Amino acid sequence: MANSHEVVETTQTASEYVQHHLGFLTYGKHADGTWGFAHSVEEAREMGFWAINVDSMMISLLLGLLFLGLFRFSISKATSGKPGGLQNFLEIIVEMVQTNVKNTFFGKNDLVGPLALTIFCWIFLMNAMDLIPVDIIPMFAQWVSGNPHLYFKAVPTTDLNITAGFAIGVFILIIYYSIKVKGLGGFLGEFAFHPFGKWALPLNLLLELPGFFAKFVSLALRLYGNFFAGEVIFLVIGLVGYWQLPMHFGWSVFHILVVTLQAYLFMMLTIVYMNQAHQTTH
């Protein structure tokens, strides 16, 4: 969501306003060898690989704790009698995840259910941060820090580092269980000997390897792309004056569906890929 047009400072152009809201609170090594926070997008880019987006990590960890806390609180208050609203809501989520796992995963692995539940709930909470007005959290961070020009992004899934981190975690599990279930020879054989047999090994590799690595890309970029684009649209809506109200309402209603759908898709792709890793036949 976006606040009214007045949130744009008079010294800022529309382009500068959008660009500032797309910047991260980045901590890393400066060109002079000292460590600290970047003061511009260019400076953050120069910090290189070892820089960290503190805002993305902070919000992600807080939402992870919120997810764990809600489930822990609900479990401590759970009753077999008349359940409360929170228990009902969380039971619906658990049953939805459980149903999808049963219908999609045909191997034997007790990790898949909790993994799918964690992915859905955590990513949903991250996505839902996009529904908070785009100026509220950055302005609060600026007020706390005393720096009116502080960069601070509140939607972790608009950070490719976060979505890629999720994807890498799932990708490692896929490789691990593929080797565990099929053996190293069976895992490598899927790339070398299929679909045309061992006599066409180079062609098999050419066909199979891109599809395998596309699993990582499909997980990381789909989630990132949807929410980066969504955030930009919210920022642009905030610049159109009084016309932003109906536009804001329509986009918010649509975006609620995107928030849920993208979390669900990430969960389902994880279950599907884990199922493929547990299949011993091609």
Residues identified as active-site: 218, 222, 226
What is the widest separation between alpha-carbon atoms in the chain? Answer: 69
Tokens at 212, concatenated: 């395998």
Closest by CA to 1, choosing from 102, 138, 101, is: 138
Amino acid at 191: F
